[in-house]
Chains A and B, each alone.
Chain A
């Protein structure tokens, strides 16, 4: 930790637009680390039980508050390593269900600029990314919607297409998430039939994300649409609780804004989203705030 602090003090920063995320078309230069803290708050009062929208007076508003460390390191100018580890706390505003909290899943990404090409006087990039996320400890996934996560180890295979012209850009990505089986604290459970095992098959997921925005040396601003589509899984039965292997889908829209402060290397970001439609999923809306700092990790003499 002290080493990191010393590095903080001796940074050298190039004034560029830097990325922190695993879904954008931006890269950190070699040996630069962009690290910071992000916090978010999201909540829902209504949710989709199968495709039927309802509320639950015995839960009230379910909220999820998280604080996480995130970072993006330039292994090379074209290959970035991204990490993220959040602490999550959940709560129900009504009823008597216990909220959950704890450190959730560590996610790691490798993002590679496979192709960078001038097309129609703009820059086109093709960026494959590989992600892996894993729970850092056992937390129960069996008290949804209050579980802090799904407890699944996930391999994510993503392809990002990014096109920028005169600072305006479009970024689209598609991700296949291979979710590994999870384990419960009980030895049988009911999905659409009784299963005698503590192991649960988690259906895989497709994610689609499309963003349109403006970026220059000082700001990144975009609006986005995101779709999650669980491949398989079952619907929550009428008035039953959700289960990790439900068929969870959503369509969301949101906005993302990042600003490079006059303090060299320090940037702040804000984002927000809301859910348009869903299935076996809360009508989540949320906001996030973050602050990042860029550090030159090149060995100094």
Chain B
């Protein structure tokens, strides 16, 4: 009998399984500095902050305004727990949350397509995004570009919004109507237009372009965001609508750029892939070969031709593309290949941990997403304004996109083989990316990110540099890169980051 008791007791002791998700406990955004003059900061694509028009707000004594404050009071009277949860979620900040949503879309869509029965591979099609393979395959270059367009567009839209906020100076609903409880901090002295709505609208438009198959999910988030702002007493509906007008107009400029930046042609053609291979053969080097079965076409070979944000296309060949990798017949190459074999065949637990921590492979937000997460974790503690959030993330993400461009240019310019192509004894813990080795994408991304983040938060520079080095070396532990790939990649990334720093020093925000 006593065993039955023990049996039942242990069943009851079965522990609770809930986990604490880090991003669900972010504090309410309550900026130390309002950056009320951000309307004067230098935009990225806009020629001036009032290039997009914003209608003037109605008087706070008007029937419309009174009706809209009544809407808030009605919502607050009957607030449900679900609504409270939504408000708490959006209180952490609009730029932060839409960045997170973008990371989620990237992770969801970051899966290479399965092969056709004849051994070829289908290419996702933007005009038929729901059919398999769903559009897009959010691989690292695609993701880097997506983050950059999102952040840059958010930044320009907020610069414009801050211009109009300073112009109209409408107090927040709770300042006008004491019966309204505000769940948000006061928004830089003016709630018109709503900066949340600006960020929401510009993000929705960019995501519809970049992740068309996920529009329903994105629209749902947008509805919740608007609900949070109104029910939470942050804005009246007119603030929101004005923000949406600015957000959509700015998005249109960035969408026009995205349609002509060259990314659509980055897949290339079989003739281009072959000519890349032959140019390496002509130099007497060993060309890269896909190690997958069936052989998969290389990932976005013409991504190096995409138009960068921080420098001109001609700067790539003249200032950024590194010297060639060690020749596959050189002693240096043999030494580096041997290092990869030795490390991977005796991988210790700490190296395995580093490998997996930085893997950021299939079904993840990619290395650019990882650096966005790292940056956001730090910005959350700094209590900066929405516009500064957008500016910092725009600098980070333009660096990451431009790092991808230079890295992909270099990879396909030299087209050199991965370690296991030369030495089949080498195995990987993290999966082998399907594109040439030199230079390491992780290293280039990390070099660029650590450079600009160190400039934005100098107190954390040591941490960012150590992380970048670890991310870079993780690829040697993973058996998929030589040391040259990693060291040169970090260095090239740093140089890309320098361009972002130059911009940061002159954008009027410091």
Contact = CB atoms under 8 A, between A and B. Distances in A.
Contact of B17 (A94, A181, A188): A181
A184 B362 CA distance: 16
B107 A96 contact: no
A157 interface: yes
A5 interface: no
Nearest to A49: B114
Given A130-B7, A237-B111, A94 B293 contact: yes
A180 interface: yes
A82 to B, nearest CB: 15
B357 interface: yes
Interface in B403-449: 420, 426-429, 431-432
Contacts of B70: none
Interface in B1-54: 3-4, 6-7, 10-11, 14-15, 17-24
**Chief secondary structure at chain A's binding surface:** loop
Contact of B113 (A58, A112, A239): A239
A185 B365 contact: no
A274 B24 CA distance: 44
B111 A97 contact: no
A138 B352 CA distance: 11
A97 B429 CA distance: 6
B356 A185 contact: yes
A200 B21 CA distance: 10
Contact of A98 (B22, B365, B428): B428
Given A58-B293, A237-B111, A193 B356 contact: no
B11 A181 contact: no
Contacts of B17: 180-181, 201-202
B22 A196 contact: yes
A17 to B, nearest CB: 23
B22 A197 contact: yes
Interface in B340-385: 344, 347, 349, 352-353, 356-357, 359, 362-365, 373
Interface residues of A, number: 44
Interface in A69-119: 79, 94-99, 110, 112, 114
Contacts of A226: none
Nearest to B356: A185
Contacts of B431: 97
Contacts of A155: 10-11, 14
Contact of B359 (A99, A114, A128, A186): A186
Given A178-B14, A190-B363, A128 B427 contact: no
A157 B6 CA distance: 11
A16 interface: no
B357 A185 contact: yes
A240 interface: yes
B363 A185 contact: no
Nearest to A91: B427
A155 B9 CA distance: 12
Contact of B365 (A97, A130, A138, A194): A194
Contacts of A202: 17
Contacts of A235: none
A57 interface: yes
Contacts of B113: 239
Contacts of A199: 19-20
Contact of B352 (A79, A185, A196): A185
Nearest to A191: B363
Contacts of B23: 196
Contact of A237 (B294, B363, B364, B426): B363
Given A96-B427, A98-B427, A99-B427, A195 B357 contact: no
Contacts of A240: 111, 362-363
Contact of B4 (A99, A128, A187, A237): A128
B292 to A, nearest CB: 6
B77 to A, nearest CB: 32
Contacts of A184: 356
A96 B15 contact: no
Interface string B96-118: 00001001100110011110000
Nearest to B432: A96
Interface of A: 57-58, 79, 94-99, 110, 112, 114, 128, 130, 138, 140, 142-143, 155, 157, 178, 180-181, 184-190, 193-197, 199-202, 237-241
Question: Which 6 A/B pairs are nearest by Cβ-Cβ distance?
Answer: A98-B427, A185-B356, A57-B293, A194-B104, A190-B107, A196-B22
6 contacts: A130-B6, A181-B19, A186-B356, A190-B108, A200-B19, A237-B363
